[in-house]
């Protein structure tokens, strides 16, 4: 009885977590849409006369060291951070899935070359590789996205490759060949549905990490460049004023934490959805 109660409580807590994450994600979407169509202040227009002001009706979260509206920059920064994270993740997902499918299906030298490249990337922590690549390619948005894609595609490709190798040995693939199906058709119609679930779960769990990566790169000056608003860059800009106006660092920091938390909870929920073993254990 106690166990059942505990399980119910756990389940209820998970549901509450998930509910909060979904509501927060919906709120983010609304903010995103609002920012796209309605803006009261120019996010890049400086006005030194009103710098470092506290919250007011006109500036609900105050102004920064150059007199720009913090709320406007926070909302636009969210667009940048989440938007570029999704873009980098989607590019890594597409490249990784395609590479993993081809390497796993073709095998032979192509697979061996792929594995060595993957081993090379996986030998170092993501952050180090991204910093080195961003540094080599030069600071800026494009370099940052390319660096993130170059690091992230490997993990997707490895998962996809493993699944393709396993599934290619199944009889339904042999049956598809005996029906005259081309490799491209077999990969897209018969194998992709097997892969899609796993890869999407991995991507949803990765989104939080990519947001942190983009913010971190902007924070150290290798990502989005001023005056474009971005959460990591906002943190960096506010650093000298931490003692004078700590809320300037608090708002973007809090935004990063909440968004990463929200996407991690959503990712966990999606993973649970595809976890058949959990049902059996339950």
Partner 1 sequence: MLQFDEITIRNRSRVLVDRVSMNVLPGEWHALVGQSGSGKSLLSRSAGLLLPPNLSAEGSIRLGDTELTGMNRRSIRQVLGRRLAYIFQDYQAAFAPFRTIGQHFSEAIALHDKEHLKEARTRTAIALESVGLEGSLAGRYPFQLSGGQLQRASIALALLFTPDVLIADEVTTALDSVSGHRVLSLLNRLRLDTGCSILFITHDWRHVRRHTDRIAVMKEGRIVEAGGTHRVLDHPRHDYTRQLIAAAPVLTRLPSGLQEVGG
194 binds partner 1 (CB under 8 A): yes
| Comparison of 6 and 185: residue with beta carbon closer to partner 1 | 185
279 binds partner 1 (CB under 8 A): no
Shortest distance in whole angstroms from residue 193 CB to partner 1: 4
Stretch of 27-35, 48-56, 174-182, 231-239 lying at the interface with partner 1 (CB under 8 A): 174-182
193 binds partner 1 (CB under 8 A): yes
Q: How far is CA 254 from the centre of its chain?
A: 17
Among 178, 276, 277, 282, the residue binding partner 1 under the rule CB under 8 A is 178
Among 48, 49, 179, 277, the residue binding partner 1 under the rule CB under 8 A is 179
| Comparison of 114 and 231: residue with beta carbon closer to partner 1 | 114
Among 189, 242, 254, 278, the residue binding partner 1 under the rule CB under 8 A is 189
First vs last Cα of the chain: how many Å apart? 15
Around Cβ 46, how many Cβ atoms within 10 Å?
A: 15
Long-range contacts, 124-130 (Cβ 8 Å, 24+):
126/151, 126/152, 126/209, 126/213, 127/213, 127/216, 130/213, 130/217
| Comparison of 107 and 253: residue with beta carbon closer to partner 1 | 107
Annotate each residue in 94-113 with x if it binds partner 1 (CB under 8 A) or - if it does not, as one string. -------------xx-----
CA distance 80 to 229: 7
Structure tokens at 10: 């756990």
Question: Is 164 in contact with 99 (CB distance < 8 Å)?
Answer: no
C-alpha distances in Å from residue 129, one per residue of 61, 125, 126, 244? 36, 7, 5, 35
Stretch of 29-37, 131-139, 175-183, 198-206 lying at the interface with partner 1 (CB under 8 A): 175-183
| Comparison of 26 and 184: residue with beta carbon closer to partner 1 | 184
Question: Is 103 in contact with 110 (CB distance < 8 Å)?
Answer: yes
CA distance 86 to 88: 6
| Comparison of 179 and 243: residue with beta carbon closer to partner 1 | 179
- Where along the sequence are the contacts to partner 1 (CB under 8 A)? 107-108, 170-172, 174-182, 185, 189-190, 193-194
């Amino acid at each position: 009885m106690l166990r059942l109660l505990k399980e119910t409580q756990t389940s209820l807590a998970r549901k509450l977590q998930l509910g909060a994450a979904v509501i927060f994600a919906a709120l983010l979407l609304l903010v995103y849409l609002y920012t796209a169509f309605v803006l009261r202040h120019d996010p890049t227009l400086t006005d030194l006369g009103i710098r470092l002001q506290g919250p007011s009706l006109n500036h609900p979260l105050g102004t920064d060291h150059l007199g720009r509206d913090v709320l406007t920059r926070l909302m636009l920064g969210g667009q940048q951070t989440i938007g570029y994270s999704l873009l980098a993740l989607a590019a890594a997902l597409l490249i990784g899935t395609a590479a993993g499918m081809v390497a796993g299906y073709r095998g032979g030298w192509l697979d061996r070359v792929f594995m060595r490249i993957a081993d090379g990337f996986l030998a170092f922590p993501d952050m180090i590789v991204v910093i080195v690549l961003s540094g080599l390619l030069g600071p800026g948005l494009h370099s940052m996205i390319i660096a993130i894609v170059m690091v992230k595609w490997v993990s997707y490709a490895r998962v996809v490759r493993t699944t393709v190798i396993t599934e290619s040995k199944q009889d339904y693939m042999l049956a598809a060949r005996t029906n005259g199906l081309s490799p491209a058709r077999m990969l897209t119609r018969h194998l992709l549905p097997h892969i899609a679930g796993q890869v999407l779960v991995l991507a949803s769990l990765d989104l939080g990490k990519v947001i942190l990566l983009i913010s971190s790169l902007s924070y150290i000056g290798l990502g989005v460049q001023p005056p474009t608003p971005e959460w990591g860059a906002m943190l960096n800009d506010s650093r000298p004023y931490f003692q004078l106006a700590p809320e300037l660092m608090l708002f973007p920091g809090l935004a990063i934490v909440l968004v990463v938390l929200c996407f991690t909870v959503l990712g966990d929920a999606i993973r649970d959805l595809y976890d058949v073993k959990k049902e059996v254990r339950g």
